[in-house]
Structure 1
Amino acid sequence: MRPHRLNGMTKLRLFLLTAFAMLPLAANSWLARAALRDTAIDAASFTSIRLASGALMLWLLVWLGGKVRSGSGHWLSALALFGYAALFSFAYLSLTAATGALLLFGAVQVTMVALGIRGGDRPDTIQLTGVMLAFGGLLGLLWPGLHAPPLAGALMMIGAGIAWGIYSARGKGAGDPIRVTAGNFLLTLPMAAILSLITLQGASVDLTGAGYAVASGAITSGLGYALWYTVVPLLRAATAATVQLSVPVIVAIGGVILLSEPITLRLALATVAVLGGIGLVILERQRRQP
């Protein structure tokens, strides 16, 4: 049989759907930064509301899906998910949306490459060059100087990226991705409650901040992940990975338009280095695969 080929209209629809799926991933950074910079909500409350609303939306999607699907949450995966969400929120107390997204994305990809090496994947010279280029871009962004981001916030965002990289690696082959993600979100709620209790003295929530947190959890996380999991099976693995390179760029553009954030030369050069390095790794991995 001849392989099925997508016609022009189907390709256009897939392209538009994929482009649309990138917006929720980027919007998480815009919502978090806007909430933690411009409203009274504290980082712990933002995290708890985001995780609770995300769990509610994802389980609603599972229920609406009807048929029983395989997969469930796991406490270690939930811990990684909670670590990502909490560090992400606290980091955006001081980082711009663009800087945070680049640090997060770079840390996620470097972590997944490192986990691949640990699992027996031996990168070649081109892939190692890509990793070093991406790592150098992150290092250049953090190097002390006039436009360096706050170190504490940067380290927390890198930690969030490492946690998300571990969560992503653990999720491969775990079952239906929406059901598994819903289960993991549910398991984060006791952790979020403990965080809120620990930080209760500094807790502060206003209507606008809570609205941003609900939007981040229910829409850009819950519905956003569901949309992405719908698109991914229609894309080649390399395409799915490569298209995510656009997220930090979308965040940076949105940061300028929506949040009036500046784009520094340091950030622009770091973005080119990090995304270029990760692109080399992804494309070379695809070339090596049969």
Structure 2
Amino acid sequence: MQNLVKKEFQLFILITLSLLFLSLNSILCKIALVNSFIDPYSFTFFRVLSAFLTLLFLIKFNQNKKLKQNKIDFKSNWLSAFMLFLYAIGFSYSYLSLEAGFGTLLLFTVVQITMLFSSIFFKEKISLNKILGLVLAFIGLIYLLYPSQDFKISYFHLFLMCLSGFAWGVYSVFGKKSKNALFSTYDNFFKAFIFTFIFFIFVSVHSLNISLNGFLLSFISGSITSAIGYVLWYKVLPKITIITASILQLLVPILAILISVIFLDEIFTTNLLVATILVSLGVIISIVKRKTNQNI
């Protein structure tokens, strides 16, 4: 019994840290772009590169012999890496227009939808409380996106964030098969960097803008909130169901909204408040009966 409580507490810590790091990515990206410290492509480039180098450092100095035996396989895992790239590039460009709080809420609601359909495809058992939680969360998103007189948004950037959310959802589903979180994340970022490098052919050189502040923000986003955060997330994923993983990630926008209001002076509108409450209730309802199942 004591060991079970200890394992559940460790899982809670891993989930909390990984969700916090996921939410901070939005804040760091928005700070960099809103202040014109860096352009979206360069932010993505340095974010992915610094994440890869950080993970390479961790693997090189890890004492686990099994890690040292792992080598990147160029014949597999490209789809997972491409999804990571697609998430990162869409994420950066969408924040040229979207606010951090709104963007994160949209991102992880799309993630939830993607992972919901994945759980149905893989025939996971979905309990009634999870269904009710999902419905509440979707109502929150519809309420947030429903056009009003002062509803002004770039639908192109909205599409980019939805694409980013879809990619992250697929990436998370692939993560359930990971047996080595550190190496899997390292392998994904290495190949994602190749895609990021290739994407440069679509970028205008004149649009590039890099400052020291922009580089530092992208470096922190890559080396800490992405590299470490994603390793933690890949450790969590095999221990929970796909549907629970999707629902838990809806806590990310709640954290991002609170941080963005405090540090980015974003307006905490009534619509955002209502949507946040609905999404939060959806998460709570979805996990209250977790003890009835072995897997959350």
Task: Indicate the TM-score class for this superposition, using the shorter chain for normalisation.
Answer: 0.7 to 0.9
1:194 deviation in Å?
A: 2.0
**Inter-CA distance 166–21: structure 2 relative to 1 (3 Å threshold):** closer
Give 1:137's match in structure 2, choosing from 137, 140, 163. 140
In structure 2, distance between residues paired with 1:176 and 1:153 = 34
Give the 3-state SS of the residue equivalent to 2:278 in structure 1: helix
Deviates more, 1:83-92 or 1:102-111: 102-111
Alignment gaps of 5+ in structure 1? none
1:122 deviation in Å?
A: 5.1
Deviates more, 1:274-283 or 1:109-118: 274-283
1:147 deviation in Å?
A: 4.0
RMSD between superposed Cα atoms in Å? 3.1
CA-to-aligned-CA distance 1:212-259 (integer Å, 9 cap, x gap): 1111101111123334556x49x8779977765532222111111111
Counterpart in 2 of 1:203? 208
**Inter-CA distance 13–195: structure 2 relative to 1 (3 Å threshold):** closer
1:6 deviation in Å?
A: 4.7
Give the 3-state SS of the residue equivalent to 1:113 in structure 2: helix
Counterpart in 1 of 2:52? 55
In structure 2, distance between residues paired with 1:14 and 1:138 = 28
Give the 3-state SS of the residue equivalent to 1:4 in structure 2: helix
Give 1:153's match in structure 2, choosing from 146, 152, 157. 157
Give the 3-state SS of the residue equivalent to 1:65 in structure 2: coil
Runs of 4+ off more than 6 Å: 10-17, 235-242
In structure 1, distance between residues paired with 2:221 and 2:114 = 24
After the TM superposition, which residues 1-290 of structure 1 pair with which residues of structure 2 at under 5 Å, given as runs?
4=3, 6=5, 19-66=16-63, 67-69=65-67, 74-121=77-124, 123-145=126-148, 146-147=150-151, 149-201=153-205, 202-228=207-233, 232=236, 244-283=249-288, 287=292
1:282 deviation in Å?
A: 4.2
1:112 deviation in Å?
A: 0.8
**Inter-CA distance 87–286: structure 2 relative to 1 (3 Å threshold):** farther
Q: AA paired with 1:108? A: V
Question: Is the 8 Å Cα contact of residues 90 and 156 (structure 1) preserved in structure 2?
Answer: yes
Q: AA paired with 1:68? A: K
1:65 deviation in Å?
A: 1.4
Alignment gaps of 5+ in structure 2? none
Question: Is the 8 Å Cα contact of residues 141 and 148 (structure 1) preserved in structure 2?
Answer: no
Aligned residue-pair number: 286
TM-score by length of 1: 0.85
Deviates more, 1:140-149 or 1:158-167: 140-149
Give the 3-state SS of the residue equivalent to 2:61 in structure 1: helix
CA-to-aligned-CA distance 1:163-207 (integer Å, 9 cap, x gap): 101011112123201101100100012211122231133222222
1:273 deviation in Å?
A: 2.1
**Inter-CA distance 125–34: structure 2 relative to 1 (3 Å threshold):** same
Give the 3-state SS of the residue equivalent to 2:186 in structure 1: helix
